[in-house]
Amino acid sequence: MSNGLGRDSSYKDWLKELKQRIRRSQAKAVIHVNAELLELYWSIGFDIVSKQESEGWGSAVIPQLSLDLREEFPEVQGFSERNLRDMRRFYLSYTQLGVIRQLPVAELGSGAGQHPSTPAGASRGLHANSLCPTITAIPWRHHMAIVAQAKSSGEALFYINKTIEEGWSRTVLVNNLRSDLYSRQGKAPSNFTRLLPCPQSDLAQEIIKDPYNFDFITLAKKHRERELQDALTDNLSRLMLELGQGFAYVGKRVNLVVGSKELEIDVLFYHLRLHCYVVVELKVEEFEASFMGQLGTYVSAVDGLLRADVDNPTIGLLICKTKDNVYAEYALKSSSKPIGVSTYEITELLPEDVRPSLPTIEEIEAALSDEE
């Protein structure tokens, strides 16, 4: 810069603050546009339902409406027959599931209330002016993914809130919908309530799932613990996605020397929201109470050797092939260390007698070279 302002510290500070302000304004603009779009789609969905019921137009109204709107607004995308049907489904699904009714009254704002022409079949629905920040905070296609899967207001709101809290992309949302995260998260037996203070106990319970979906790895039906460890850590990005936000990978087969003994931790994580280490013990067999003592020792060792003053108490996570929940609950009562017990699922298993017959990567590459 010829005038030398580019080297002036005061100018640099002002420019940095100005850039941040512009980015915040851009983000707000995107959120505002999304809110306006959702309110428009919600109102169109409401009107379609209303007119179909009050005028008896039936399904024929959607193709005609699509044709007329696209003719009037050729530059505007979103008025296809499919999208108009999605708008109708958006309105009907959230009203029939009771999603809007489950939101805090304060969120509905002064515009809350039914539209004057609310049809009888949609008597519990709210008009566009009633849409609240919880609904308008996520994009349209996210809502379509949730509408296609959710079977209750609790399930729909779970995915809406998780998308907001953890910033899920649509791909992540769809993956979590397909793996039925709603039914798995926070469902594992644990003793966190007894051994951890609030709110740490609640958060610890929330981060564990039952079962864990490891369908991104392929193993023989009878596999060893080391094979499971290696397969999971070789697919670390997929593993971290399944574990959920907040987990930071420390290492696998972590060795700790305790007196004359050397302990080997299967996989060690640090959880950024819990501010504590998470010791994961993998078992390729059914849960046994004896596993609790082993994991409890590992948790104590991490507390004694790795935990800093700023860290919260270490928790243990035992992931077994199968478990009896009643048996696990009784075993947890006898433990003095915070532990959760879960299971894992692998949807693709290669029979043991098939694996030796499969060609290696080298053999496949050699065969392809010969063909060339």
For the domain bounded by 185-355, which CATH number is listed?
Answer: 3.40.1350.10
Q: What is the dihedral of CA 40, 45, 46, 48, to 10 degrees?
A: 120
Where would I find the H helices in 285-351? 290-305, 325-333
Q: How far apart are CA 117 and CA 323, in angstroms?
A: 54
What is the pLDDT at residue 357? 53
Q: What is the dihedral of CA 166, 193, 214, 142, to 10 degrees?
A: -30
Give the chain's radius of gyration (CA, Å): 27
Q: What is the pLDDT of residues 113-143, one digit of tens each?
A: 344 334 444 444 444 446 788 898 899 999 9
Measure CA 309 to chain center.
31
**pLDDT under 70 in the chain at which residues?**
1-6, 102-130, 347-372
Q: How far apart are CA 126 and CA 31, in angstroms?
A: 21
Q: How far apart are CA 60 and CA 48, in angstroms?
A: 11
Contact 284, 223 (CB under 8 A): yes
Sheet-wide strand order for 339-345: 212-213, 339-345, 315-320, 276-282, 261-271, 247-258
Q: Which of 169, 106, 111 minimizes the C-alpha distance to 138?
A: 169
Q: Where in the chain is the domain with CATH 3.40.1350.10?
A: 185-355
Dump strand ranges (E) for 123-166: none
What is the pLDDT at residue 252? 94
Angle at 91 between CA 172 and CA 136, to 5 degrees: 50
DSSP bridge pairs for 339: 316
Tokens 């002036």 map to which residue?
8
Contact 281, 274 (CB under 8 A): no
Describe the crossing of helices 140-149 and 9-55 by its angle, rounded to 10 degrees.
50
Residue 147 carries which side chain, given as an amino acid letter? V
Residue 366 carries which side chain, given as an amino acid letter? A
